[in-house]
Amino acid sequence: MSNSKADNIFSFPNQKTLEPLRLPRLVGHRGARSYAPENTLVSIHTAADMGAEWVELDVKLTKDGEPIIFHDDNVDRVSGASGAVADMVWKELKELDVGTHFSDSFVDERIPHLEQALDVILERGLGLNLEIKPCAGREKETAEVALDLLTSCWPEDMPAPLISSFQAVSLETALIMAPGYPRGYLISKDEPQTMENWQDKAKHLEVSTLNFDINFLKENSDILQDFLNTDFRLMCFTVNDREIAEQLFDIGVVSIFSDMPDLLD
């Protein structure tokens, strides 16, 4: 398998627009999560500095409805504070230090607003996979707010972002609001609702990609063969081992999500 940059891009028709959806071999997971605090502006810059072509970021809503780049339902793991994101307003959340938990070199790194993240992504010329990661009960609203902002900021002459989610309602909202943006169906045993009738749901939602958990491969489950038998382009998360990445590419996986943008260098 050649490692040239040209070979690292796969092109195929998006069912909806018939324009080519180009996916890179590697998508920087939460930016460059192994090298910088996840889902921060410095993490996006680090991914770009390391040569990533795309980044994946998680978006959810604050209590007052602002779209922020954040993974967990509460702030405890990545900040010195404690509390549920759904109960906190943007004014409180933007004061939190989400860098120190990673390293003292990132003291005072803040949670980005989606708009700030988009500015950096566009400035750095990165491709984007925006994962809609709603707090419970806000599946539709989170997709609406995120897509409203995204569609107003994202240049029409740039390849459209890939919108993914574990939540069917969020993907359905994306299909309605931004039908020209490709969608990715996230599937994991840790999110049991994604396992039920996944083929029917993915078809109904007109997704282009099936983004599956590496644990399906590790457990050698029959479902992996089912994934390979579909027409969806396969993306796998989260892969931080080069040998496993090569095995995945060999069986037909198009892209991996990795915390290490330099994994394939």
Residues that bind ligand G3P (CB under 6 A): 29, 56, 58, 71, 131, 164, 186, 211, 237, 257
Residue 38, contacted partner among ligand G3P, Mg ion, none, CB below 5-8 A by kind: none
DSSP code per residue over 225-237: HHHHTSSSEEEEE
Q: How far is the CB of 78 from Mg ion (least distance, A)?
A: 14
* Integer Cα distance of 170 and 140 in angstroms: 5
Q: Measured from the CB atom, is 64 or 175 closer to ligand G3P?
A: 175
Q: How far is the CB of 131 from Mg ion (least distance, A)?
A: 4
Residue 186, contacted partner among ligand G3P, Mg ion, none, CB below 5-8 A by kind: ligand G3P
Residue 113, contacted partner among ligand G3P, Mg ion, none, CB below 5-8 A by kind: none
Sort 116 into a burial class: Cβ within 10 Å, 0-12 / 13-18 / 19+. middle
Which residues, numbered 121-140, are part of the site for Mg ion (CB under 5 A)? 131
Q: Closest residue to Mg ion, Cβ-based?
A: 131
39-65 burial code (b ≥16 CB/10 A, e <16): bbbbbbbbbbebebbbbbbbbbbbeee
Measured between its terminal Cα atoms, the distance across the chain in Å is 13
Which residues, numbered 142-181, are part of the site for Mg ion (CB under 5 A)? none
Residue 204, contacted partner among ligand G3P, Mg ion, none, CB below 5-8 A by kind: none
Residue 164, contacted partner among Mg ion, ligand G3P, none, CB below 5-8 A by kind: ligand G3P
Count residues near Mg ion (CB under 5 A): 2
Peptide bond into 173 cis (omega under 30): no
Residue 185, contacted partner among Mg ion, ligand G3P, none, CB below 5-8 A by kind: none
164: which strand partners? 131, 184
Q: Measured from the CB atom, is 39 or 79 closer to Mg ion?
A: 39
Q: How far is the CB of 213 from ligand G3P (least distance, A)?
A: 8
Q: Closest residue to ligand G3P, Cβ-based?
A: 237
257: which strand partners? 27
Helix (H) or strand (E) holding 56: strand 54-61
- 3-state class percentages of the chain: helix first, strand second, coil last, to nearest 5: 35, 20, 45
232: which strand partners? none
Contact residues for Mg ion (CB under 5 A)?
A: 58, 131
